[in-house]
């Protein structure tokens, strides 16, 4: 585990304990914010910890937090957080993670019910011991027990690739309900985070009971948690909670902005509104007349509410796409004008046929690329060391190259490149020698083994591939699998700088199990002017549809079309490709 991840975990844990022990909200929020900053940092924090000023230069990290970070890097512990941890039973942190249990409830369960962990909570509910605690009636306790059992069955946060299709299906179903005029999913899913906790659906409807019924009566609903005129929550047997909110059509944009978040972005917008003598909430942007009662309850007409764009315009700030509404300060507000889009992709540069571990023939693969209007397709079957993926021996590779070049001659509307996904071996050598690499039109060099390598060795290993004159792109650089495998933890700043210097691209693998580069690494590359390809790593026809997940991640990192070779016109792309030969 990287020091960033370890530190983020310690700060998250500290924030949870502070909540349970009743610390003021400002302190809790400050610690939580540092945890998020650490989690999203594109480079390792350890080198910066040598100088407190360097740490404090990071927006959101103050002197106290910087001192804690420095102490952790130097000693592996944070004394203040250790003392906090000792102040409560360690299992209470897991109790706080039970859906529906807030810190105040956990504190009551601990102090008045003797609950010290999830096991004791479950046992005490089943024995009836907690029924005498205020506001802990049988129905409430039954719901808590149900939430515990649900948590035990579910897999935690859901991958974007599982959540987005589910949300799209929900939107399609509810949009057909009577009276629905506008509908959208919101929350972290709309922001394109790689994992999500639940699914938020926003609906404007003249007949609220209709979309509510469409949700509660749909197949796959395990339990209806709440059903009301404005909010309904259900739990799906797919392992996720869905929250439906019914709003007025006239303030749909304000509600969408509010429920999309992030929390920090909403706070920034409210502060901008206050500075302009206005008030912003989920009902709209209103003139501030100094009254304490909410303006929407007094019949005050909003300045803007119908669309998000109208609210940004009224605040006189540039519109930010949902993917960019995290970790951006007021000085870092503007969105690039040419962010990557699905429509901007003109080439697929990493995919597989049945020559290795794909299911498509060469012609079937080409057909998929032509259907999508791509001007270039790079066929990149696995190299010989990927035995588990039916990697190609030198002899098979040479035959494959001939077959690809022959196929290229048969099509006038697409250029088909003979490439390979070449393993980067543990010591940094490539799986084919230079003589063979020279025969290839396109080389993706990827790590597939030794993925628990020491960060320093991992950095050196990937640097060797980046600096190799015949490598075009480093495929899925860390080799991570979301929720399954952390993968390598190289010094990404060093890799980004080297890739820039050697005109080598880094890949954003669009497969939602990978999304590697991560969003924060994409941002690091984009700020440095380093090339980033977005490829599906397609093994079957449906995999081409995974592109949208790569696009979401690329946009979160601020990747522009100018820095993404897949977006280039054929002449420019082919010129860059030839420059490596």
The predicted-structure confidence for 168-225, as pLDDT tens digits, reads as follows 999 999 999 999 999 999 999 999 999 999 999 999 999 999 999 999 999 999 999 9
Among residues 106, 130, 153, the one where a domain terminates is: 153
Query: 456 and 418, same structural domain?
Result: yes
Over residues 273-298, mean pLDDT? 93
Query: 100 and 149, same structural domain?
Result: yes
Boundaries of domain holding 130: 92-153
Q: Which residue has the tokens 């010129």?
A: 575
Q: Cα–Cα distance between 204 and 254 in angstroms, integer? A: 12
Buried b (16+ CB within 10 A) or exposed e, 175-207: eebeebebbbbbbbbbbbbbbbbbbbbbbbbee
- C-alpha dist (Å) from residue 569 to 246, 277, 416, 459, 562: 44, 48, 15, 32, 11
Identify which has the larger pLDDT, 251 or 38: 251
Query: 541 and 440, same structural domain?
Result: yes
Per-residue pLDDT tens over the stretch 560-572:
999 999 999 999 9
Question: Beta-carbon neighbour count of residue 370 at 10 Å?
Answer: 15
Query: 269 and 232, same structural domain?
Result: no
Mean of pLDDT over the chain: 93
Grade residue 328 by pLDDT with cuts at 50, 70 and 90. Answer: confident
Strand intervals (E) in 85-189? 158-159, 180-185
If you write DSSP's letter for every residue of 234-271 in order, what string do you get? EEETTTEEEEEEEE-GGGHHHHHHHHH--HHHHHHHHH
Angle at 382 between CA 376 and CA 386, to 5 degrees: 165
pLDDT at 386: 95
337 within some domain: no
pLDDT at 94 over 90: no
Residue 294, SS3? Answer: coil
pLDDT at 155: 60
Query: 559 and 429, same structural domain?
Result: yes
Query: 229 and 351, same structural domain?
Result: no
pLDDT at 1 over 50: no
pLDDT at 573 over 90: yes
What is the number of structural domains in the chain?
A: 5
Per-residue pLDDT tens over the stretch 146-178:
888 777 766 668 999 999 999 999 999 999 999
Among residues 271, 305, 332, the one where a domain terminates is: 332
Query: Which residues, including other chains, have CB under 8 Å from residue 354's CB and lie 6 or more apart?
Result: 360, 361
The runs of H, that is alpha helices, within 454-556 are: 455-467, 492-501, 519-528, 547-556
What's 163's domain CATH number? 3.30.460.10
Query: 140 and 75, same structural domain?
Result: no
Q: Cα–Cα distance between 274 and 429 in angstroms, integer? A: 58
Q: Cα–Cα distance between 561 and 566 in angstroms, integer? A: 8
pLDDT at 24 over 70: yes
Among residues 313, 332, 351, the one where a domain terminates is: 332
Query: 162 and 134, same structural domain?
Result: no
Question: Of 84-98, 432-446, 523-537, which range is least confident?
Answer: 84-98
What's 27's domain CATH number? 1.10.150.110
Query: 366 and 513, same structural domain?
Result: yes
Per-residue pLDDT tens over the stretch 409-438:
999 999 999 999 999 999 999 999 999 999
278 within some domain: yes
Over residues 22-38, mean pLDDT? 87
Query: 289 and 196, same structural domain?
Result: no
530 within some domain: yes
Over residues 376-403, mean pLDDT? 97
Over residues 258-272, mean pLDDT? 94
Q: Cα–Cα distance between 187 and 466 in angstroms, integer? A: 37
pLDDT at 2 over 70: no
- Which range, 41-45, 329-333, 440-444, has the best average confidence (pLDDT)? 440-444
Q: Do residues 431 and 384 lie in contact, with contact meaning Cβ atoms separated by under 8 Å? A: yes
What's 486's domain CATH number? 3.20.20.140
128 within some domain: yes
pLDDT at 533 over 90: yes
């Amino acid at each position: 585990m990287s020091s960033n991840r370890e530190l983020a975990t310690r700060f998250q844990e500290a924030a949870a304990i502070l909540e349970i022990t009743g610390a003021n909200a400002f302190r809790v929020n400050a610690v939580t914010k540092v945890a998020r900053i650490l989690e999203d940092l594109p480079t390792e924090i350890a080198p910066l910890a040598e100088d407190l000023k360097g740490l404090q230069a990071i927006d959101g990290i103050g002197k106290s937090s910087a001192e804690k970070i420095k102490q952790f890097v130097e000693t592996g512990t944070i004394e203040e957080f250790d003392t906090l941890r000792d102040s409560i039973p360690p299992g209470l942190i897991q109790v706080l993670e039970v859906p529906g249990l807030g810190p105040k409830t956990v504190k009551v369960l601990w102090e008045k019910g003797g609950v010290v962990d999830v096991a004791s909570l479950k046992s005490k509910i089943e024995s009836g011991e907690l029924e005498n605690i205020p506001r802990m009636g049988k129905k409430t306790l039954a719901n808590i027990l149900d939430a515990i059992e649900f948590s035990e069955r579910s897999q935690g946060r859901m991958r974007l690739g599982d959540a987005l299709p589910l949300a799209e299906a929900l939107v399609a179903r509810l949009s057909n309900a009577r009276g629905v005029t506008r509908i959208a999913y919101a929350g972290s899913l709309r922001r394109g985070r790689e994992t999500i906790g639940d699914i938020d659906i926003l609906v404007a409807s003249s007949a609220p009971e209709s979309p509510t019924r469409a949700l509660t009566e749909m197949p796959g609903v395990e339990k209806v948690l709440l059903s009301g005129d404005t909010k309904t929550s259900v739990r799906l047997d797919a392992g996720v909670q869905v929250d439906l909110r019914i709003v007025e059509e006239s303030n749909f944009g304000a509600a969408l902005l509010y429920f999309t978040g992030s929390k920090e972005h909403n706070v920034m917008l409210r502060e901008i509104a206050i500075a302009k003598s206005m008030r912003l909430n989920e009902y709209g942007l209103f003139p501030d007349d100094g009254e304490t009662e909410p303006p929407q309850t007094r019949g005050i007409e909003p300045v803007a509410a119908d669309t998000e764009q109208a609210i940004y315009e009224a605040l006189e700030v540039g519109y930010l796409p949902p993917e960019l509404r995290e970790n951006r300060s007021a000085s870092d507000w503007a969105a690039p004008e040419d962010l990557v889009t699905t429509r901007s992709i003109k080439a697929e540069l990493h995919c597989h046929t049945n020559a290795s571990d794909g299911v498509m023939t060469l012609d079937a693969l080409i057909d998929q690329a032509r259907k999508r209007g791509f001007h270039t397709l790079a066929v990149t079957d696995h190299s010989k060391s990927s035995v588990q993926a039916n990697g190609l021996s030198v002899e098979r590779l040479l035959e494959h190259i001939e077959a690809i070049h022959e196929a290229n001659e048969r099509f006038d509307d697409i250029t088909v490149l003979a490439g390979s996904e070449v393993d980067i071996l543990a010591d940094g050598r490539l799986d084919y020698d230079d003589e063979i690499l020279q025969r290839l039109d396109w080389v993706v060099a990827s790590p597939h083994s030794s993925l628990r390598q020491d960060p320093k060795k991992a950095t050196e290993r990937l640097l060797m591939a980046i600096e190799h004159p015949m490598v075009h792109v480093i495929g899925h650089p860390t080799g991570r699998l979301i929720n399954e495998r952390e993968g390598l933890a190289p010094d990404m700043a060093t890799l980004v700088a080297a890739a820039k210097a050697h005109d080598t691209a880094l890949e954003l693998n669009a497969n939602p199990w990978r999304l590697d580069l991560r969003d924060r690494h994409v941002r690091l590359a984009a700020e440095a002017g380093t090339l980033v390809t977005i490829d599906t790593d397609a093994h079957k026809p449906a995999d081409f549809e995974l592109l949208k997940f790569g696009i979401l991640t690329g946009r979160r990192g601020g990747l522009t079309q100018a820095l993404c070779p897949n977006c280039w016109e054929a002449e420019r792309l082919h010129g860059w490709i030839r420059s490596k030969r």
